[in-house]
Structure 1
Amino acid sequence: MTFQQKSSEVNQDKAKNGTTVQNEYSYAVAILLKETDKVVDPNLNLLQVNPGQINYRNVINAELQNDQSVLMSKVSVDAKIYSKNGKKPVYTSIKSDMQIAPNSHLTYPISLNGTSMKAGDYTLKMKVTATANKQVKKWTFTKDFTIKSKQARDLNKSDVDVKANTNNSNWLYILIGAALLIIIIILIVVIILQRKKNSNQ
């Protein structure tokens, strides 16, 4: 809802007397409407986990659903992705101070930090903490998902960070190969000179 100050007669008189600039102020106030006084218990669901991109960068998207008519504030998420049956997380994301609107979905992205997406079976383990109705609630989710080879290949092709890392790696391999070639040539020259020296003696 937006409020605006009513123009006073004094300001209108000044405008008639030659004042051409008037400042009028308005401000917005957030209002939360309730149809009942009954306290609604908050609830979160983890619907699905899928690979995707944000700003041409690879992510794993976890879709959370708030299926109740209650606002969740101070939302904190601790998400870890493991290779199937792995014990160490391959990707981690921790964020806090978020909000989830009533009866809505939140797509939570877990960044791959410029690394190539790899096909395979994975497990997402996620802890979510939120405040609703002045009470802190906690949820724990575990969900298996699969990244297919075609998905990983297509996403890696359009990821700008993966392209940059690939180009840098190619130059590194070229430099290493050139250095090894120079060392081999030097060794061959030294061996030939040493044999000539021995034959002359």
Structure 2
Amino acid sequence: MIKFKYIVTVLLLFLLFPLTVQANDGAVPYSVQSVLPDNQVDSNASYFDIEMAQGQEQELEVIVNNSSDEDITVEVSNNPGLTNSNGLIVYDGLDEDEELHESMAHPFSEMSSLESPTVDVAAGEQESVFLTVQAPDEAFDGVILGGLYFSLEPAESEATEGVTIQNRYSYALAVQITEEGNDNLVEPNIEILRVEPGIINHRTGLQTEFVNPRPMIVGLEIEGSVYGAGEEEPLYTRTEESFTVAPNTKFKYPIMYDNERLEPGDYIFRATASRGDESWEFEEEFEISEEKADEANEEAVELVEEEDNTLLMYLVIGLGVLVAVLLIVVIYLLRKRKK
């Protein structure tokens, strides 16, 4: 239990640091601070780590400090904890084409509500953001993980050599909820959902997707490789020694193809995910059709083009013909001289 708490604390404290594109003076114009309630489990944490009884309703407060000399408006959203492809837990919400996994019985965005989606803070002042959390009426094991995502987008943009840079200052503040008095042990599990060759961020690769269907944060070591059918040596490999997965969430684990072309054929994806003495093995066959390969290679950027060996081939053929002709001439001259 202590080890689990330590992993959670380190991870979520890391996420409290601002994710920013710095302005000219490098100053972040605002900050956020949680007001820890009486049912806070870890009093040394700066995020919310609370125990709640079944059906309990609770209001959480976060103070937004404006350290700038201008009035600001900060956008706020309440989102479930998700896992990005780099193995970090994030709280910035789902993409438009994403859905929560069915194992997430109590999405944080549905069991919590904000008093307002924005907060106006005068220059040099502070204001409070209030979040109401409603615990499930029934018993729940493990952890419900969500977070508050604060975002400030200044009105002015910075133009540099014809490129406009829009500064954006964001904070993520985690909210971890456990049921009061519930010590039921949750067993970890990792499942594979799909493998799909194609384009990932405008580059060739294999997109793989897994899920952690249990209400617990899982720290993993993952190694995934792509093999040609019947081959022993991998074509492409990705290894991550520290990959943290949020409770009841899907996560992507892309295998990049080093900007090489997709080649039609049959392939196998093999992966191992481990957590201490526990491990999960995966093997999935997949095919890259000519149509899929052509489509992906056409769309990919910075693609390493195959070398054009046509000229070299003609030179080799020409050299071979020349050597053969010279050999015939030499043989003819030698026979004529002998006669």
Instruction: Give the shorter-chain TM-score range.
Output: 0.5 to 0.7
Normalised by the length of structure 1, the TM-score is 0.66
Matched, 1:67 2:174: no
1:129-165 deviation per Cα after TM superposition (whole angstroms, max 9, x unaligned): 23xxxx6531111111111211111001111122xx3
Name the one with the larger helix percent.
Answer: 1
Equivalenced residues, count = 162
Aligned pair partner of 2:287 in 142, 146, 170: 146
Q: Pick from 144, 166, 169: which aligns with 2:307?
A: 169
State the Cα distance separating 1:25 from its structure 2 match: 10
Match of 1:100 among 230, 245, 270: 245
The residue that corresponds to 1:81 in the other structure is 226
Pick the aligned partner of 1:121 from 266, 291, 297.
266
Q: Please say if residues 2 and 28 of structure 1, whose CA atoms lie closer than 8 Å, have aligned partners that are also in contact.
A: no
Q: Does the C-alpha gap of structure 1 residues 137 and 25 become closer, same or farther in structure 2, counting only changes over 3 Å?
A: farther
The aligned amino acid for 1:72 is: V
Measured after TM superposition, the shift of residue 115 of structure 1 is 0.9
Does structure 1 conserve the Cα–Cα contact (< 8 Å) formed by 2:192 and 2:209?
Answer: yes
Instruction: Report SS of the residue matched to 2:177.
Output: coil
TM-score by length of 2: 0.41
d(CA) in 2 for partners of 1:124, 1:177: 35
Partner of 1:90: 235
Deviations 1:22-73 (A, max 9, x none): 5769997534212332111010111211112222101101111111111112
Change (3 A) 1:31 1:145: same
Sequence identity (%): 25
CA distance in 1, matches of 2:191, 2:63: 44
Give the Cα–Cα distance (whole angstroms) in 1 for the partners of residues 269 and 172 of structure 2: 40
SS at match of 1:30: strand
**Candidates 20, 30, 53, aligned match of 2:199:** 53
Q: 1:153 to 1:34 in 2, by over 3 A?
A: same
Structure 1 residues 37 and 147, CA, compared in 2 at 3 Å: closer, same or farther?
same
The aligned amino acid for 2:188 is P
Structure number with larger C-alpha Rg: 1
Match of 1:112 among 241, 244, 257: 257
Amino acid at match of 2:232: K
Does the CA-based 8 Å contact 2:196-2:207 persist in structure 1?
A: yes
Distance in 2 of aligned mates of 1:6 and 1:29: 12
Q: Which residue of 1 aligns with 2:177?
A: 33
2:278, 2:269 → 1: CA distance? 20
